Structure 1
Amino acid sequence: MPMLTDPPKVRTCLWFHQDAEEAARFYVSLLPGSEVVASTDMGGGVAVVELVLGGAPYQFLQAGPHHTLSPAASISVLTEDQAETDRLWEALIAGGEPSMCGWLTDRFGVSWQIVPRRLLELQAGPHAEAAQAAMMKMNKIEIAALDEAVAASQRGGL
């Protein structure tokens, strides 16, 4: 899928002060179905990186300090289990900062949500409030703690 000759109609563009290509290469190493498709040098180093993360198209624009990344825009990754959650969290948090409820900001300034599928299942169930309350106390989401909170809620409701 050559992005330069046939770009996707819609893609997310993130503005980087610097290190856009380094960030792109790091991210594609973490997520299956990812690749750096093209890097464009505008004469002063890489200015645009076209990439796919987990099947979703992105464009990273390295254009200086005029705009900054913020948690107002984040990349959300749905994980299948605690092992995947832990792997992504640990890789992305290195040099970054944790936040609440599965959010973190990585060393490049990009905000991420690392969301176990189990959390969504519990939030859609009859004890959604217990799952939500447990999640609100977490940085990285811990599936066992969510399940325990729901089980405690079920015991209390019998």
Structure 2
Amino acid sequence: MEIRQKITPFLWFDNNAEEAINFYIAVFEGSAVGDLARYGDAAPGKTGRLITGTFSLAGQQFMALNGGPMFKFNEAISLFVDCKDQEEVDYFWEKLSEGGEKSRCGWLKDKFGLSWQIVPDTLTKVLYGADREGSARAMQAMMKMDKLIVKDLQDAYDGK
């Protein structure tokens, strides 16, 4: 039985949706291109510029549109990448920020302007841990970071 995803993020690109799809599936293991609709698909033997395309990143379905320059991505929405350890944080931080812009507290914009949060699972543990003072220290440490550093977050929580 196929499980159908009820809600799919829909990403509006100017004219580089196919480039973005290919970039994202190269970054995330277990990802794939789905259906692609192109201008000129109706003509036999013709392929044109992408109109819309579906793709999955680590099991999450997305749809992309080459919609033109009217709308741009902004930080009002971001994609949260839950990382198991520092190695994953480092990998996604470097790959997704290539040609983009690194920011504070684990946030970055990729080369397409889409915002991402690259977050180790340790962050949830230290920010919402039983030690309220430790959580406050971890929050203060996080506020000073660009890329999140697992050891530094844990050390702050532990009072080291």
TM range (shorter): 0.7 to 0.9
How many Å separate the matches in 2 of 1:49 and 1:90? 25
How many Å separate the matches in 1 of 2:67 and 2:4? 20
| Aligned residue pair count | 150
Could you tell me the percent identity over the aligned residues? 39
When the two structures are superposed, what TM-score results if normalisation uses the length of structure 2? 0.87
* 1:39 aligned residue (36, 41, 51): 36
What is the aligned partner in structure 2 of residue 145 from structure 1?
152
What is the aligned partner in structure 2 of residue 63 from structure 1?
67
Task: After TM superposition, give the deviation of residue 52 of structure 1 in Å.
Answer: 0.9
Confirm whether residue 133 of structure 1 aligns to residue 144 of structure 2.
Answer: no
Structure 1: tracts of 5 or more residues without a match:
none
Structure 1 residue ranges, 4+ long, deviating more than 2 angstroms after superposition: 6-9
Task: After TM superposition, give the deviation of residue 132 of structure 1 in Å.
Answer: 1.1
Confirm whether residue 13 of structure 1 aligns to residue 10 of structure 2.
Answer: yes
1:34-63 deviation line (CA, Å, top 9, x unaligned): 211121103351011101112111111111
What is the aligned partner in structure 2 of residue 115 from structure 1?
119
Confirm whether residue 98 of structure 1 aligns to residue 102 of structure 2.
Answer: yes
Contact 2:33 2:56 in 1 (8 A): yes
Structure 2: tracts of 5 or more residues without a match:
41-47
Confirm whether residue 75 of structure 1 aligns to residue 79 of structure 2.
Answer: yes
How many Å separate the matches in 1 of 2:104 and 2:90? 15
What is the aligned partner in structure 2 of residue 22 from structure 1?
19
* 1:86 aligned residue (90, 108, 114): 90
When the two structures are superposed, what TM-score results if normalisation uses the length of structure 1? 0.88
